[in-house]
Amino acid sequence: MPSIYRSPAWEKMALRPPRGLVPGLFWGLSLFFSLPGPVWLQPSPAPQSSPPTEPHPCHTCRGLVDNFNKGLERTIRDNFGGGNTAWEEEKLSKYKDSETRLVEVLENVCSKSDFECHRLLELSEELVESWWFHKQKEAPDLFQWLCSDSLKLCCPSGTFGPSCLPCPGGAEKPCGGYGHCEGEGTRGGSGHCDCQAGYGGEACGQCGLGYFEAERNTSHLVCSACFGPCARCSGPEESNCLQCKKGWALHHLKCIDIDECGTERANCGADQFCVNTEGSYECRDCAKACLGCMGAGPGRCKKCSPGYQQVGSKCLDVDECETEVCPGENERCENTEGSYRCVCAEGYKQIEGICVKEHIPEPAGFFSEMTEDELVVLQQMFFGVIICALATLAAKGDLVFTAIFIGAVAAMTGYWLSERSDRVLEGFIKGR
């Protein structure tokens, strides 16, 4: 957010605000208008996003070559195509391999924001020029010549790593066609096969856990899902299980759920109870009334917690307020779940551990926060308005209002001669 300029006068006002209602209003307004602009409309800083990951150099090189080939097509299309064919053939033979065309193509190979492309082009510019003028006929594939053979950034499809080794399953069909070879086509990666769902093995040539071979031949493999709890199976039916997943037991080619809560396999805490689930179990907390339990609710307790008592088959809360008396004056007992607490009686509040009578303040009036001097100023303003109105009416010759005007002037004169007005004037002269 841009900084806000603060003048020395503004800082002085901010440090020493005047006291009182009327001066405070003027101070607040002057403070508001001294700001250079509406602060609440200043833009907040834009959230910082994480920097994007840099692409592999091979991918950058491939993009550079793709854009180079597009530039070749564009320059032919823009400069020729219609008119005198014999003239075009003569000019095209000169323009086709010219430096002018190369410059036109290279100008649009990288976008303005693609820093990696510009950096790679700067490093390989001499190689590109060498290929353009000397190597095109013997190496027509620019990607193979530049990215793989010269810069050694890429590998042929189906290979990976610094030595361009074949991916598992072979370079022609990496990972059997059912997965992705990590680093394929680049000089990096591990060559590990990331298999599709349902497939497994080093080269994704087997069915994964929970799948069976529905169809297989020399070039084709179809893996289908087993019945839910089966880890290995011979078919999709419940009775085709050969091995069960964890939490299940094989019984007559079917997987039966193991009740861990009825065996020693469950491991729950002292204040928890076991709940069996399909293929597993859960540990849930006992009720607050229980010290150890066999299930949910206060009726499954092994023992009752302090503050509870056995009533029939349940542990119920003890109402301590029936027997306990809070020792403090003006206190009353309040029962809670498993305990109780002492609170102040209605109309009392606790101060330093003692309940004292609460005094509710009367609602403040409109002029309650004003100083005496401010009240005097308001009174003078009010009487001034009244006198001006009476003077206006008296000037029109109305005897009644003339008499009222004279009486008001006399009353104001007496007020200014009183001890109160003398004190106010003395304070005003002294700069209070």
Q: What is the DSSP code string of 340-404?
A: EEEEEPTTEEEETTEEEEPP-PPPP-TTTTS-HHHHHHHHHHHHHHHHHHHHHHHHTT-HHHHHH
Give the residue from 306, 329, 357 where a domain finishes.
357
Task: Based on the fold, state whether residues 179 and 143 are members of the same structural domain.
Answer: no
Same domain flag for 312 and 345 = no
In a domain, 396, yes or no: no
Q: Does residue 292 share a domain with residue 211?
A: no
Judgement on whether residues 145 and 72 belong to the same structural domain of the protein: yes
- Spatial distance between the Cα atoms of 101 and 75, rounded to a whole number of angstroms: 7
Strands 314-317 and 199-200: unpaired
Is residue 182 a part of any domain in this protein? Answer: yes
Please check whether residue 274 lies inside any domain of the structure: no
- In a domain? residue 116: yes
Residues 309 and 327 in one domain: no
Q: How far is CA 44 from CA 1, 39, 40, 49, 115, in A?
A: 6, 11, 10, 15, 29
403 inside domain = no
Same domain, yes or no, for 166 and 95? no
Judge whether 64 and 121 are in contact, CB under 8 Å.
Answer: yes
With respect to residue 236, please indicate whether it lies within any of the assigned structural domains: no
Q: How far apart are CA 40 and CA 42, in angstroms?
A: 6
Residue 244 lies inside a defined structural domain of this protein: no
CA distance 114 to 94: 32
Q: At what angle do helices 57-79 and 115-130 cross, to 10 degrees?
A: 70
166 shares a domain with 144: no
Q: In tens digits, what is the pLDDT along the chain, a chain of 432 residues?
A: 333 333 333 344 344 445 554 445 444 545 444 545 444 344 545 555 555 566 789 999 999 999 999 999 998 876 655 444 454 555 556 788 888 899 999 998 999 899 999 999 999 999 999 999 999 889 999 999 999 999 999 999 999 999 999 999 999 999 999 999 999 999 999 999 999 999 999 999 999 999 999 999 988 999 999 999 999 999 999 999 999 999 999 999 999 999 999 888 889 999 999 999 999 999 999 999 999 999 999 999 999 999 999 999 999 999 888 877 788 888 889 889 888 889 998 889 888 888 998 887 766 655 566 677 777 777 777 777 777 776 776 666 666 666 666 666 666 665 555 555 555 556 555 554
Of the three residues 337, 357, 377, the one that is the final residue of a domain is 357
Strand ranges, E, within 245-353 = 248-251, 254-257, 272-277, 280-285, 308-311, 314-317, 331-336, 339-344, 348-351
Query: Is residue 310 domain-shared with residue 327, that is, in the same domain?
Result: no
Do 135 and 103 have their domain in common? Answer: yes
- The domain that holds 341 is classified in CATH as 2.10.25
Q: Which domain holds residue 131?
A: 57-78+90-154
Any domain includes 190: yes
In this structure, are 130 and 64 located in the same domain?
Answer: yes
Domain count, the chain: 4
Indicate whether 163 and 221 sit together in one domain: yes
Final residue of a structural domain among 318, 343, 373: 318
Distance CA 260, CA 251 (A): 17
Distance, CA of 228 to CA of 248 (rounded, Å): 11
Query: Within this chain, do residues 174 and 101 fall inside the same structural domain, yes or no?
Result: no
